[in-house]
Structure 1
Amino acid sequence: MYYNKAKQEGYRARSAYKLKQLDETAGLLGEGNTVIDLGAAPGGWLQVAAERVGPDGSVVGVDRQRIDELDDPGAAVEYVRGDMTEDATNAEIRERLGADDGTGGPADLVMSDMAPNVTGEYELDHARSVHLARQAFEVALDLLDSGGDFVAKVFDGQDLDDFEADVEREFEYARRVRPDATRDESSEVYLVGKGRLTAPVREGDTREVEIVDTGRDGDGIAKVDGFTVFVAGVEEGETATIRIDDVKPRYAFAQPVE
């Protein structure tokens, strides 16, 4: 069904519909976004991303294979041919993003539909898929802006729980999504990380802080390396030991520790 639909609608691969469904489920592609597509050949995900980010957005497609340029993509599209595990490729991605000074990135989404060459040995294929997804995850940690998103394909299996836990530590939350366009017999699933956390604190941390201001709702405000933490039940001018309860991309909530 999706193969024929892709041919009729001009998409280079049936996987275009997986990305459409992922976007509809998880809200990944917004107008004006900057997107990095890892393992982009032949370009089906590039097409969808370019359509959805629109003329104010940009997409960088990365693959070891040559990617034929899109006709009238509707957004600024750059092409990087290389292995994303190599420093030279990462440097070129940074250059295309304007982040080649080593300061991290303005990307709003890092996405990967990469899969290993299947051997037929399921445990090996699963492990290799998680390895590829982890490589994409490292790119995401390096280049995503605060609040940015990540999605990568993996084969379901024993290593997925640990990988999901690692993603969840670095994002506001993580979830597994299986698009309807996935073949029934396939074990693939997409791991989505929403809301990249670049804060200097994580849930469960304890810190001693000075309350420097009062928020609109009456909570005290502390700063940790310039990052805002709202603390319940304290007054401006106090010094308090706090426990971080919830971390968002641009602020966190905490309670004083008795």
Structure 2
Amino acid sequence: MSRKDHYYNKAKQEGYRSRAAYKLQQLDDLENVISSGDTVVDLGAAPGGWLQVAAERVGPQGRVIGVDLQRIKDLEDETLADRVETIRGDMTEERTRERVIEAAGGKVDCVLSDMAPNMSGEYSLDQARSLYLARMAFETAVELLDTDGDFLVKVFQGPDVEDLRSDVEEEFQYVRATSPKASRQESSEIYFIGKGRLTTPVRTGDELEVEIVDVGNEGDGIASVDGYRLFVPSTEEGETVSVRVEDVKPRFGFAQRIDRDADAETDTDTDTDTDA
């Protein structure tokens, strides 16, 4: 029995609307993008296989908002249907985005996208369209996700996919590329999983001048950048120092002071000149 037949038949037997439901199950098992109580947005949700899985996993306190240009039929399971709201619209249009934000009541915890283009049979064209949809989903995720939220998106492998991954890495603490077992063997699709949405005022590699306003339990100085805590070793309260950001977490980060490095180089240059 082929992999296609296995997941198709399994979906029929278990009441899922598409074999793609198992992709989301496997991806979520891998990286836990959906948690109980989450508010989840599912882009390109028709026919509803991912909606079913997401509704199961958010639990009775969670909510799932499905968006698609096509009409999405209500879920047959009334318990799951009560957790789901569907919106018919185009996420490239501001009106649809506003409807999603209104339905979510603010920021969301997870954005999913299994969107794929209508296949033309010309791979280069289909791949370019897939990349466009993935970028649209990424832009939506950046707009909708709360701090530490997660993002899952499908894209066909090809030109500029690594550029997309680099852009996702700029906005998330961690990014993984993978293909679930439920993907067809001949498929070129991969999924990017972005964990931990960064909504911080700093990024790794930034150099800035900060004031040490406190000292942590481990003895590291603490600077505040627009309310964001930055831990800086070898500093004392009251100092103003130049630092380079080394690591960024959703709610705090780590930096190394660089003004001492500059002072050391100056001292070395002065010693050399004196010896000469």
TM-score (structure 1 length as normaliser): 0.96
Match of 2:47 in 1: 42
Count residues with an aligned counterpart.
252
Match of 2:189 in 1: 188
List per-residue Cα deviations over 1:174-230 (Å, max 9, x = no partner): 111100000001101111111100000000001100000011111100000111101
- Give the secondary structure class of the aligned counterpart of 1:192: strand
> How much has 1:98 moved relative to structure 2?
1.2
- Give the secondary structure class of the aligned counterpart of 2:64: strand
Match of 1:148 in 2: 149
Correspondence 1:153-172 to 2 at 5 A: 153-172=154-173
Q: Once structures 1 and 2 are overlaid, which stretch shifts more, 140-149 or 63-72?
A: 63-72
Equivalent residue in structure 1 for 2:62, among 33, 57, 74: 57
- Structure 2 unaligned blocks of 5 or more: 1-5, 262-276
Match of 1:85 in 2: 92
Q: 1:245 to 1:181 in 2, by over 3 A?
A: same
**Matched letter for residue 81 of structure 1:** R
Residue 123 of structure 1 pairs with residue 124 of structure 2: yes
**Matched letter for residue 15 of structure 1:** A
CA distance in 2, matches of 1:77, 1:117: 26
> How much has 1:2 moved relative to structure 2?
0.2
Q: 1:73 to 1:191 in 2, by over 3 A?
A: farther
CA distance in 1, matches of 2:78, 2:178: 30
Residue 66 of structure 1 pairs with residue 71 of structure 2: yes
- Give the secondary structure class of the aligned counterpart of 1:80: strand
Q: Considering fraction of residues, name the structure with more helix.
A: 2
CA distance in 2, matches of 1:73, 1:65: 23
> How much has 1:127 moved relative to structure 2?
1.0
- Give the secondary structure class of the aligned counterpart of 1:111: strand
> How much has 1:73 moved relative to structure 2?
4.1
CA contact (8 A) 1:38 1:111 kept: yes
Percent same amino acid at aligned positions?
61
CA contact (8 A) 1:50 1:73 kept: no
List per-residue Cα deviations over 1:144-190 (Å, max 9, x = no partner): 00000111110011211000000001100111110000000110111
Match of 1:198 in 2: 199
CA RMSD of aligned residues (A): 0.8
> How much has 1:118 moved relative to structure 2?
1.2
CA distance in 1, matches of 2:44, 2:235: 50
- Give the secondary structure class of the aligned counterpart of 2:78: coil
Match of 1:98 in 2: 105
Match of 1:26 in 2: 31
CA contact (8 A) 1:153 1:190 kept: yes
CA contact (8 A) 1:47 1:73 kept: no
Correspondence 1:237-252 to 2 at 5 A: 237-252=238-253
**Matched letter for residue 85 of structure 1:** T
Higher CA-based Rg: 2
CA distance in 1, matches of 2:138, 2:165: 11
CA contact (8 A) 1:172 1:248 kept: yes
- Give the secondary structure class of the aligned counterpart of 1:109: strand
TM-score (structure 2 length as normaliser): 0.90
List per-residue Cα deviations over 1:90-140 (Å, max 9, x = no partner): 0100110113xxxxx2x1110000001111211111111010000000110
Match of 1:102 in 2: none
CA distance in 2, matches of 1:73, 1:81: 22
CA contact (8 A) 1:65 1:81 kept: yes
